[in-house]
Chain A
Amino acid sequence: MTGPLSPALRKGLAYGWLSTRRRAGQLVLPVVTTATGAFLLVQVLTLTDSVRRQSAALGDTEQLVRATTLIAVVVLLVGVVEMAVSTTRTVVHRTREIGVLGATGVPRGPVVGALLVEPLVAAVAGAAAGGVVAVVGTGAANLAGLVSADVRPGPALAALALAVGTSAVAALVTSAGPAYRAASRPPALSLTSGG
């Protein structure tokens, strides 16, 4: 987002942050699935040399290394989709709450912003946790002599950044639809429905 945030949006984001902390327990599953995807992606990217050796034994090295990276990214996206499924659950749970916000005059933007804080925080936390475990785990396995991987800080950080960035963008893109739909419903409808 460019430019300074409007006060209403800032409040929306702060509200989203508070509710994310309150609902941390609900986020365990999406965080774990995202962390698993990020773990695999970062591991594949930090173990490129060994993936390359494995691919060379089969032939078509470059194509197989590309395929391995593609599959790792796809698995990360599968993990992030769980985050978006969780957002659809969240908006149903919080239907009345969203209705109250709408009824008290909070515009749609801050409500959408508040609803997107949860998937964003969970995606970043999950991807960072999975990525850090992958880097530390690979480094430790390397020191223990279990794998012969040259874990360099530069590529490891780049892999971590890629995992976190991809997760954050994918979580926002996939959660935006459900959040927008929930924030666009007439407050009267939200207030009279369940949840």
Chain B
Amino acid sequence: MATVLDHPAPTAASVVDASGGTRGGGSRLLRFALANVRRRPERFVLSTAGIALAVMAVIVVRTIAAGYATVGSDSLSEVLGSDPVWVVGAEGVRFDPDLDVLLPNGSTPALTVPEGWTAHRQAVGVWAAPGGDVALVGRDDVAPGAAVVSPAAADLLGVAPGARLRVGAADLTVATGGTGTSVTVPVDVARTVVGDRGWWTVTPSAADTGRRDLGALLSRASGIPSTTDASRTPSGRPLAYDTVGGGTSLATFQQAYSAIFASKVTSSTLGLVSVVGLVLGFVIAVSSFLAAVQERRREFGIMSSIGLADEVLYFFLVESALVFVAAYAAGALAALAATTLVVPDVTTLAGWAQAAGIVAAYLPAMAIVGALVPVHRLLQQRPVDLLRDDA
């Protein structure tokens, strides 16, 4: 073939070496694959670009999902602190995307806790502050006279640490801390602004700490149903979330809770479109390998006729691996650039790395299947048919 004259490919003898397991067999396979890439550089570039774009689409979506998972996880940590049980009212809770915090939909339920346990009331609601809406959280672990203001809320309210902040009738001293756009104050101060809205967190007695049936114990004392399922919402009655029970599950309650946030992204239009992109990328890989098989029928016919049918598969696996590794590297870097430019607020390096890791997990399967389909078609035919001139 004329193109072979331009870039001589390794000979069948080197192939025998490679398959015979002699020293440097792997590197010979790689050289053979690289020689074939040089024979059709544009096809290598195109199929790599197609798969890279598909990889990029999926990593972008996963990075955004990871960003929201972190938001969900942080907002839950903020609510729970070190308490293992969270009791919410019958109306449930919602995540406010503007303030980046969890808010109750209704009033704090009545709660009776077992002997020796402590219930901490949190009064939570939206406070129409002079600079704009902020989440006002009342907790009993905030020192009297203090207001813990998150950085976003401090910007909005124009206050610095040490400044005075008036919440309702109280005059408080500002300290910074917390997530979202929130101001955390003593619970009685918050109740003067948000009224009855809020929830409870519960600390078990020292004797019960570490038990995995805290939800059940609380249910017995309070009559409030409990669950270890993060995705369950109250149905007409208050609900107690037991965040340490459900020991059979591999994921912690917090992971399950943040997964609900992530799945909102992956199941949205964004997620669905990216999955179609990945399927199209795979179609490109298979179609490009099929074209390569068609062009090299005679070459493979010669190899099959001298008993090197298996090696044909190795060649394609190495070539496929080359294409997918190059596409993955390019796609992952393009995704980092795209998320940093388009969705800077939800992009974190950790989220991107996690997303890239997830995609890396299923690329090998795609690379192997992508190489197997065309080779299978090839090996279905007798060597003599592959060698025919009109093939």
Does B295 lie within 8 Å of A92, measured CB to CB?
Answer: yes
- Stretch in contact with the other chain, from A15-23, A63-71, A102-110: A63-71
Residues of chain A within 8 A of B49, CB atoms compared: 81, 174
Does B273 lie within 8 Å of A40, measured CB to CB?
Answer: yes
Does B97 lie within 8 Å of A68, measured CB to CB?
Answer: no
Does B57 lie within 8 Å of A78, measured CB to CB?
Answer: yes
Determine the distance from Cα of A159 to Cα of B291 in the docked complex, in whole angstroms.
33
Does B270 lie within 8 Å of A78, measured CB to CB?
Answer: no
Does B100 touch A at the CB level, under 8 Å? yes
Does A68 lie within 8 Å of B287, measured CB to CB?
Answer: no
Determine the distance from Cα of A88 to Cα of B37 in the docked complex, in whole angstroms.
13
Which chain B residue shows the least CB distance to A32? B283
Residues of chain B within 8 A of A78, CB atoms compared: 50, 53-54, 57, 277, 280-281, 284
Does A81 lie within 8 Å of B50, measured CB to CB?
Answer: yes
Does A57 lie within 8 Å of B264, measured CB to CB?
Answer: yes
Does A59 lie within 8 Å of B98, measured CB to CB?
Answer: yes
Does A86 lie within 8 Å of B287, measured CB to CB?
Answer: yes
Determine the distance from Cα of A161 to Cα of B287 in the docked complex, in whole angstroms.
28
Minimum Cβ distance to chain B for residue A58 (Å): 6
Question: Chain B contact residues: over half helix, strand or loop, or mixed?
Answer: helix
Does A125 touch B at the CB level, under 8 Å? no
Given A29-B287, A68-B273, A85-B47: A193 in contact with B1 (beta carbons within 8 A): yes
Does B100 lie within 8 Å of A71, measured CB to CB?
Answer: no
Minimum Cβ distance to chain A for residue B73 (Å): 15
Does B365 touch A at the CB level, under 8 Å? no
Determine the distance from Cα of A140 to Cα of B277 in the docked complex, in whole angstroms.
25
Given A58-B265, A194-B1: A85 in contact with B287 (beta carbons within 8 A): yes
Within 8 A of A (CB), among B33-75: 40, 42-43, 46-47, 49-50, 53-54, 56-57, 60-61, 64, 68, 71
Minimum Cβ distance to chain A for residue B134 (Å): 15
Residues of chain B within 8 A of A124, CB atoms compared: none
Residues of chain A within 8 A of B47, CB atoms compared: 81, 85
Contact bitstring B255-276, A, C-beta under 8 A = 1, else 0? 0000000001100111001101
Determine the distance from Cα of A102 to Cα of B299 in the docked complex, in whole angstroms.
27
Does B264 lie within 8 Å of A63, measured CB to CB?
Answer: no
Does B342 lie within 8 Å of A63, measured CB to CB?
Answer: yes
Residues of chain A within 8 A of B281, CB atoms compared: 78
Which chain A residue shows the least CB distance to B274? A71
Does A116 touch B at the CB level, under 8 Å? no
Within 8 A of A (CB), among B114-158: none
Does A54 lie within 8 Å of B343, measured CB to CB?
Answer: no
Pick the residue among B97, B269, B342 that contacts A59 (CB under 8 A). B97
Determine the distance from Cα of A72 to Cα of B277 in the docked complex, in whole angstroms.
8
> Can you list 28 pairs linking A and B with CB atoms under 8 Å apart?
A44-B269, A44-B273, A54-B268, A57-B97, A58-B68, A58-B268, A59-B98, A60-B343, A63-B342, A63-B343, A63-B344, A64-B270, A67-B61, A67-B342, A68-B270, A72-B273, A75-B273, A78-B53, A78-B281, A82-B280, A82-B283, A85-B43, A85-B46, A85-B50, A88-B46, A193-B2, A193-B3, A194-B295
Binding site for B on A (CB under 8 A): 29, 33, 36-37, 40, 44, 47, 50-51, 54-60, 63-64, 66-68, 70-72, 74-75, 77-79, 81-82, 84-86, 88-89, 92, 174, 177-178, 181, 185, 189-190, 192-194
A-B contacts besides A60-B343, A189-B2, 11 pairs, CB < 8 Å? A59-B100, A60-B97, A63-B345, A64-B64, A67-B60, A74-B56, A78-B281, A81-B47, A81-B49, A185-B2, A194-B298
